[in-house]
Structure 1
Amino acid sequence: MSDAVRLTRHADVVAAARDAHTFRSCTSQHLHVPNGMDGDEHRAYRTVVDRQMTPQIVTALQPLFDTAAREIVTALPTGDVFDAVADLGEAFAVRAQCRWLGWPVEVEDELRAWMARNYAAARHPDPAVNARIAADFDALVRRQVDAHRAARTANPHVAADGTHRLLDERVHGRPLTDDEIVSILRNWTAGDLGSLARCVGVVVHRLATRPRWQQRMRVLSRRLRDEGADAVALRAEWDAILGECLRLDDPFVANRRVTTCPVTTSTGVRIDEGAMVLLDWTAANLDPEVFADRFDPAGHADDNLVFGTGPHVCPGRDLSYAELGAVIMALLDGSALIEPARDEHPIRHEPPLGGWARVPVSRR
């Protein structure tokens, strides 16, 4: 990856992300549905994924996320230090994911153990180790797919969950293959679990170290529960603050593309045909030509690239905000103040991961 061309300017990253013809996403020999696809193939599978994350589905899942968040926060210590990434973010991400996918509670510990192995492998890449870790995860996913098929056979009217809905999907007039289903579920779980945990760490760190914004979020949280309040405007402000926290410390570091022809970007970066390109979301989200040097949720919202842009923009943006919002709201509701631990310091993730590996905080 050291030979890849890294695009860091906001204009260059946006242009490349939106030009799927020149900057193709098929960069791996392995099946990645739909992230590693282009053109008509990508559109067909992206439609399937989008149907799993409609506003109606996300709205229906909100009570489930709220309940899971309250359970995790209730188990946290009061007055003692806890890690906002592992004890809060990872614990909630795994529980919420298992529940909306309809996976049993015993899978939670298995998923967290796998996340730890995957983090370690990311810090010290080894192809053989990575292959074993990927194979172990695929086996876990296939077990859940098989269990859902068996449940449907035993009871055709079993309640639908995320996995059942995916098993019912069709593409090109046929059911999804097992490999395609596993690839989609791998993307939702292997990719999103760690990402959500890092998002929680980033937001909690900023709120703990910026009491003014923590207080504003507390006000919004209380008003969002007031049925007479303007929920649309309040939710927009709430999400904008979450987005601004993530923009300033983007846990989604980069995505790969490969060029189909020679190209020169608007800022003068010359790239050969067939070159590997990294879209550096973290750098683009800090471009001083686009973003003022201040915390400005409303002013920066339109240019925020945390969830990407273009045809490969993250399909789970609304789902992610629903999950992240649930856990942050539960934490605020379950405390009078969140503050950094006095005798411990936060620890950042080592590249290629972004965000925090550990955020020690306390609540009272």
Structure 2
Amino acid sequence: MDEPMAGPPPGCPAHGTGPGGLRRLYGPDAQDLAGLYEKLRAEHGAVAPVLLHNDVPIWMVLGHGENLHMISNPSVYTRDSRIWTPLLDGTAGPDHPLMPLITWQPICSHAEGDEHQRLRGSVMGAMSTINSRDLRRHISHWTQELVNHFCHRGTADLVSQFAEHLPMAVLCEILGMPEEYDDRMVQATRDLLKGTETAIASNEYVMSVLMRLTVRRRAEPAEDFTSHLINHPAGLTDEEVGQHLRVVLLAAYEATANLLANVLRVVLTDPGFRAQLNGGQMTVPQAVEQSLWNEPPFSNVLGYFAKQDTELGGQRIRKGDGLLLGMAAGNVDPHVRPDLKANMMGNRSHLAFGGGPHECPGQDIGRAIADVGVDALLKRLPDVQLAVDEDDLAWTASISSRHLAELPVVFAPASPQDVMERPGVSEVPRPRPDWDTSDPSLEATPVPRPTIDLPEPPAADPATGPEHRLGAWQRFVRWWRGY
């Protein structure tokens, strides 16, 4: 084996690169991934060769059009990693930190043809049983309960105390395991997406929870997503059920946690943005879409794999090569966004949820949680303001996402509100191609609910800000659009 070459001196153009002079998407030299994408675009164009953890080679797709071409051509690109050359030759071994995201699984997002249709049909059938009014009640209930934990203090961290918890609480309700919602489930789900040394162990914990749920619902069906998935005519095995529960949980949770934090950050830091929201020129759903352009919840998706020799973005792609779906880089492609400050409201051609046959399954649940959650929080805390300078906000980044570390805020202390009874799903499930988000009746009897211990932020002086006028609501015009 060749001896490792001595690293280049500081200041050298090659400093921080790996074998072959390729740039790494991990480690200390990849702290500013947004800046790295632009360096790669300048050096290589729309598609660039890069290195994953352990210096495993892969292609980074940076162009908006090139990303769309890749995800819309299943005859050329597949999500089945079993043809990936580094996996076949052992370069990417079973202990690779990103293996939970790369390894082939018996799920529709990795399947093709008739098998894809069978698996997707079961998921979509279970999705059709989710009552949109009940979903809205779940979101409202948990928003009020989470805000009740800190509203009397006049200070909070809206990342650790709200954005990271609301999606998990709602998803545990939907899946039929509200008792599993706790800090450990939140942290394990976040950790397995980061490619850390503990990612594999975190994935095992999450899967153990989901497989216990599968076994329990197989024996004792209920009116929840998991039971309907199990009882679908497609006849999924327990392993297939558990893996699809994982897909729904990860796709909806991580995307929504980041989306919530990003929308709240913009509302709190951009006076013009908040003024439009308060003045009625923009609704919360429109604010969400703008955020999906500027800060997509997932930066990249691992991965797509070439089924044959081909060409993309001027690069020669060989059979077995891996490619990263670059949402963050594609959303700022100068060919589609020459002016990054331009208003993108009404334009849903962003890459935040992917596209093609494997488009993100959880996007409409994610949108609902962000829309209802942000609106409800701003109504409870209309004078909420950022407690620090915007420049002092810290971020953590991984190859999968860029995550706001904390969002400290201050507001006039308020009394906790009564939390209404947790709703159930409809007794007679029925398909709902269009979501009805008209105001539901919330008449119910309050019941005690299990609580969780959330971290207390340091004390801060309450501050007041401009009044917040209630926002309007739009109808959702589509349900899950599939994979």
| TM-score normalised by structure 2 residue count | 0.64
CA distance 1:200–1:25, shift in 2 (3 Å): same
Distance 2:58 2:199 in 1: 21
Could you tell me which residue of structure 1 aligns to residue 203 of structure 2? 134
Distance 2:182 2:220 in 1: 20
Superposition map of 1:1-364 within 5 A: 1=52, 2-27=56-81, 28-54=102-128, 57-77=131-151, 80-115=154-189, 117-118=191-192, 122=194, 124=196, 126=197, 129-152=198-221, 158=222, 160-171=223-234, 175-218=235-278, 238-255=284-301, 256-265=303-312, 267-291=313-337, 292-298=339-345, 301-342=347-388, 345-364=392-411
Per-residue CA distance 1:90-116 (angstroms, 9 max, x = gap): 111121111112213354233124236
Distance 2:153 2:134 in 1: 34
SS in structure 2 at match of 1:52: helix
Query: Do the aligned partners of 1:90 and 1:197 also contact (CA within 8 Å) in 2?
Result: yes
CA distance 1:264–1:202, shift in 2 (3 Å): same
Per-residue CA distance 1:44-80 (angstroms, 9 max, x = gap): 2122222233496334422222222222223234664
Distance 2:109 2:366 in 1: 17
Structure 2, gaps ≥5 residues long: 1-51, 82-101, 412-483
CA distance 1:295–1:261, shift in 2 (3 Å): same
Distance 1:218 1:334 in 2: 14
Query: Do the aligned partners of 1:262 and 1:273 also contact (CA within 8 Å) in 2?
Result: yes
CA distance 1:320–1:16, shift in 2 (3 Å): same
RMSD (Å), alpha carbons: 2.5
Query: Do the aligned partners of 1:53 and 1:315 also contact (CA within 8 Å) in 2?
Result: no
SS in structure 1 at match of 2:334: coil
The alpha-carbon deviation at position 355 of structure 1 amounts to: 2.7
Distance 1:98 1:218 in 2: 32
Query: Do the aligned partners of 2:215 and 2:238 also contact (CA within 8 Å) in 1?
Result: no
Identity of aligned residues (%): 20
Distance 2:190 2:333 in 1: 32
Distance 1:54 1:238 in 2: 25
Q: Which amino acid aligns with 2:385?
A: E
Distance 1:167 1:206 in 2: 40
Q: Which amino acid aligns with 1:18?
A: S
Structure with more of its chain in helix, by fraction: 1
Pairs aligned (count): 334
SS in structure 2 at match of 1:136: helix
Per-residue CA distance 1:84-143 (angstroms, 9 max, x = gap): 222111111121111112213354233124236536xx253x4xx443322222111122
CA distance 1:212–1:76, shift in 2 (3 Å): farther
SS in structure 1 at match of 2:353: coil
CA distance 1:75–1:101, shift in 2 (3 Å): same
The alpha-carbon deviation at position 40 of structure 1 amounts to: 2.5
Distance 2:195 2:168 in 1: 22
Distance 1:208 1:55 in 2: 36
| TM-score normalised by structure 1 residue count | 0.83
SS in structure 1 at match of 2:345: helix
The alpha-carbon deviation at position 319 of structure 1 amounts to: 1.3
Higher normalized contact order (CA 8 Å, seq sep 6+, divided by chain length)? 1
